[in-house]
Every structure is written in C-alpha cells, then in structure tokens.
Structure 1
Amino acid sequence: MSNINLIIEERPASIGSFMVGRLLPFREKRMVGPFAFIDHMGPVCMSDKENMDVPPHPHIGLSTLTYLFEGSVMHRDSLGTEVEIKPGQVNWMTAGKGIVHSERTPQYLRNSDKMMHGLQIWVALPKHLEQMEPEFFHVEGKGLPEWTEQGVNIKLIAGEVFGRKSEVPVYSPLYFLELKTSSRQTIKIGKDLFGESALYILEGAVESEGNTFGPKQLLVAKDSKLCEFDMQENSTIYIFGGEPFPEGRIIYWNFVASTAERIEEAKKMWLEQSFKPVPGETDFVPLPPQSNHIKAHNPAND
C-alpha cells in the first residue's frame, strides 16, 4: 500500500512583482504539521529594469521563513530590522500579535541583471503564543547543522530531528530538511520523523513504490514513520513537517489565527493603519476583498 496520501502540483500565483509556484495551502490539505503556506519563488531572471518590490504588509499569528537558493532580498520590518538575506541563510520573522515588513531588491543590485530563487514559508504559532511580542532572527549558514550520510548531504534548516537542532528559534515541534545527492541513493529516515510530513522536489526525481515524481511536486505522506524512497542522481529535495495543532487555523490574506475574531481585529488595525510602520517606508497595501481569502483548516478533516 502506498504511503503517499496526496500529490500537490505547484500552482501559479502572483505576489505583485512576479509569479510564484504555490504549494500550500491546498484545498485538500491546508497545513502539514504547523506549516501553513509555502511559495516557490522562481527561478526568475530580472533585468536591470526589474526588481523585487513587496511593499510593507502585515502579519499576525505566524513565523515566516525565507530561504534563498539564488539572489538577494533586503528585509525591513516594523521592529527597525534592516537585513539582507543571501543564499544559505535564514530569515525567521515571528509576527505574534502583529508585525509589518517589506521585501525588496537591495539598492546595489537594482540597476543590474539578477536572479531570484528560493522558498517562502509560513509556520503557524501555537495558540498560546499567537499574541506574543514580534521577533526577528537572521541565521547564517553556519547555524544550520549540515552532515553527509550514506552519500546524501543533509542540512537541518529549522527545527530539531536526528539528535540535531537548528539555531532557528521555532515555537513548536517541527523539522525542515534539505537533502542533496549527486548519485542514486535509498533514503530511510521515517523512524526519526514525527507528526505530519511532506516532501518537495526542487530538482531531480524521487521514486517511491514503483512511481517516479519530479520537480515542482509536493508529496504528502500518510505516515511519516514509513518515510522511505529513492533519490535519483543530482536531486535536491526538502522534507518538512511536525506536530499538528489540536485546533484549526484560519488564513485570511497575510493573517493566520485560531479564531475569526482575531482575524477581524487585525483587519480593523490594518484599515486604521494602527500597526507599527516600517521605518523609511510609506507604501500602503490595501486590504483585499473578503471573498476567496478565508480558508479554515480543521485537523479532523485531514
């Protein structure tokens, strides 16, 4: 019997500056463990007249994780943070009760050709931490455990697993792993995983129970403990998951919350422009229309 419960294909979505491939949420699977949202950015080549410009926008009830393969992004937020993220580093921003941030091409790259490629992820906060004070952490590559096992290079980008722990300060039991191999390898890691689990193929291919899966596919496991598959040569994959929350989550625009009331409060705050602003930024993104934006996740329905 197959251990693959669901196959999700990337769907095109616009984030203003350019198109991305959306993986989560999906109509049949809103979350995987605490992971509520995943976008695959690029790869996109921007000319000297094109730049990434995501103006200031708010978040509540989640942590954002930005991980780049290529390119560079200047992050600014309402805490006063101004940090450039480069490939192999992690930007981890915890919104809690509310934060505003912008993401733009750094000034020194704005008049030259450039590449952009990476993952943007939202991790929902446990209910008791949804109203925590906002935080921001930038983790250099050396803060991410990396090792080679049976011909596979493994990097623990966030969370704790295999007796190793990333410096990214997560708030619930989870893992986000990068696996790379130049030769065909059999991967047997299920005994160390927990909660819900999914596998995203960035490049190359994965074989499982006689089936072959390729780039831009997300495979959701029925049972993380049975996670076993073959990686073809020159493949890069990401495995993520963790313990799901007992209560559901509502996603509206950039807001994630366990109650509709908290969503309504955040909407009112943004309309009244009472979120703390990003220093030096004056753009304002209007609140989107109500329709097609609220999506409830009920663990009992998964």
Structure 2
Amino acid sequence: MKKKTSFSTKGNNATVGPLSIQRMLPNQYANKVGPFVFLDYVRPVVKETITQNGMGAHPHRGIATLTYILQGEVEHFDSAGNEAIIRSGGAQWMKAGNGIIHDENLNYDSQTESKFIQGFQFWINLPAKNKAEKPAHIALQANEVPQKALPDHDGWIKVIVGNYQELSSKIPNYSRQFLYHIQLKAGAQFSLTMESETEVAAFLPMQNAILNDTEFLAGEFIEFDKAAGEIEIKNTSSATIDVLLFGGEEYTEAVVAEGPFVMNSQSEITTAYRDFHAGKYGEIKVAAQK
C-alpha cells in the first residue's frame, strides 16, 4: 500500500547576503519530521566573491547541525577547535551538545570551474540524554558518502544519514533517522518501503516529480502519513531529477526552540542563554577565523 500525503508546501523565502534561501522546516503545517526540526535550502546561485572571515559566529545547544553541499565549498570552524572544508557532494555534521559556537564560509568549489553554490542545512534534534554531551564534528567528502546504483541503472541513492540496505552513514544515529538523496534518470521509477510510525518528508529542489501517483512541483516539501507503506517516485520528464527523503521515528519528548537552541523546557532555554553569555561555550580560535 502506498503512503498517503499529509500536506505539501513551498515554505518561506529569505535572503542572507548574496544567498537566496528557501526555509522548508518549520513550516505552517509542521515543526518537525522525526528528529529533523529545521531545513534551509540554498538555491543555486553564482558567488563571485570569496568569504574569508565567516558568515557570522553563533551558538547552538541541544541539536546537531548537518550541512549537505551539492555545489560549492564549506569551511567550518568552531569553539571546540574543529576545522574542516567539504566540497561539492560532501556533508558535515556538528553535535552542539551542551554548547558550542561555530561559523562557516560558503564559497564556490575551488577545485572546479563552476562558481555555483547550492546546498542544505538541517538541524537534528538530540534526545534529552544526549543534549548534555560534549560537542563533536564529522566532515565527509563526496567519496565518503555511501552510494549505490538503483536497479536497472535507473539512477542512484546516497545515504547522508542513517542506513539503507547495506549502506550505512558515518554520521551517528541517536534515534532511528535517515536522509537520502535519490537521483532518477528520465523515464525511471524507484520505490522504498517505510515502517509504521515513521515520519517522512520529501523535498524536490529543482524538478517536478510524481510521488505516489501525484505530481508535485520543484521547490515543494511533501510530508506523508505515519502508516507503513511505500513511497514510489516516478520521473516522467526527459531530464534527470533529484529527490531528498528524510525523517525517522517520532521525537516524543517536549520540544522548546528559541533562537539557536532546541531544548526540552523553557528553563533549559534560559540556562542555554545564560551559559552562552557567561562564556561557557568557549570561543573560536582556529586559523580560519581571520
């Protein structure tokens, strides 16, 4: 049985400097999908200048941030001393845990001739027991993201978070969660089966697609019901299409989000701000903070 659609939306538009942002989650219908509580999509844009001093250092607590860059180059640096650069097709995960300050440079990929940038940032809510843990960071280049060809060579699936068949991401799972990037060739189709009580959403960054017999448009965020069932993706166009699928088990603990913090109570939010202003998150000292 195919899963039913709960809703679809195109989110809200915003600009951050030269970047055009499409904020998909939270939206008018949902505040979270499984443990995912935030999704920003950076639309394709040409970036002519190089950012060297970061886009603005800021704190986080209680979540893990995940950046998946389709085109471009992201330099990360934080108050725990982590520093890394990922390039087109790579991903980086940062567990904010009990508090961290980080910053990023988002530029075109210096190892290619393209000056386009395009990518995603997710926030993944941590279970209460993991919110007080020390920060951590993982950077994965494109060749470290698990990938396999689809049947009949109809495209491929990448596992950025979670597991799919024999593929397993290096990014830790604190609950059942997944983030897949599926690419389908013209005229192809592909199906996945989801367990009961699994929250799942799809995002179509650049092309239309048919999901469970309904056509959705480029830029749409689609959420499905929690019943066990199949998600069938069809590409009836003459070009290759991309689909992101993400979600996981329902996050059942209380969620209180304010600014860059996601905690389980208002008192914990107050403590998060108090600790930040008291300097308990440290400061960025790495060379990238020029």
Q: Which amino acid aligns with 2:186?
A: S
Q: 1:2-151 to 2 correspondence within 5 Å?
A: 3-15=4-16, 18-48=19-49, 53-105=54-106, 114-150=115-151, 151=154
Partner residue in 2 for 1:291: none
Number of residue-to-residue matches in the alignment: 281
Could you give the per-residue CA deviations for residues 14-41 of structure 1, whole angstroms, max 9, x where no partner exists? 4456331100011320000000100001
Mean Cα deviation higher: 98-107 or 80-89: 98-107
SS in 1 for 2:269: helix
Q: CA RMSD in A?
A: 2.7
In structure 2, do the counterparts of structure 1 residues 2 and 241 end up closer, same or farther at CA, with 3 Å as the change threshold?
Answer: closer
Counterpart among 229, 232, 247 of residue 225 in structure 1: 229
Could you state the TM-score of these two structures normalised by the residue count of structure 2?
A: 0.87
Partner residue in 2 for 1:299: none
SS in 2 for 1:269: helix
SS in 2 for 1:55: coil
Aligned 8 A contact 1:36 1:123 in 2:
yes
SS in 2 for 1:63: strand
SS in 2 for 1:131: coil
Aligned 8 A contact 2:88 2:109 in 1:
no
Give the C-alpha shift of residue 138 in structure 1: 1.0
Could you give the per-residue CA deviations for residues 164-221 of structure 1, whole angstroms, max 9, x where no partner exists? 3111223211110011012222322124686100111122221145531121111100
Partner residue in 2 for 1:243: 249
Aligned 8 A contact 1:42 1:118 in 2:
yes
In structure 2, do the counterparts of structure 1 residues 186 and 89 end up closer, same or farther at CA, with 3 Å as the change threshold?
Answer: same
Mean Cα deviation higher: 221-230 or 142-151: 221-230
Aligned 8 A contact 1:20 1:40 in 2:
yes
Aligned 8 A contact 2:212 2:231 in 1:
no
Aligned 8 A contact 1:58 1:254 in 2:
yes
Partner residue in 1 for 2:199: 196
Could you give the per-residue CA deviations for residues 102-146 of structure 1, whole angstroms, max 9, x where no partner exists? 11146996xx99332100111000111111111011123333221
Q: Which amino acid aligns with 2:176?
A: P
Q: Which amino acid aligns with 1:90?
A: A
In structure 2, do the counterparts of structure 1 residues 209 and 280 end up closer, same or farther at CA, with 3 Å as the change threshold?
Answer: closer
SS in 1 for 2:55: strand
Could you state the TM-score of these two structures normalised by the residue count of structure 1?
A: 0.84
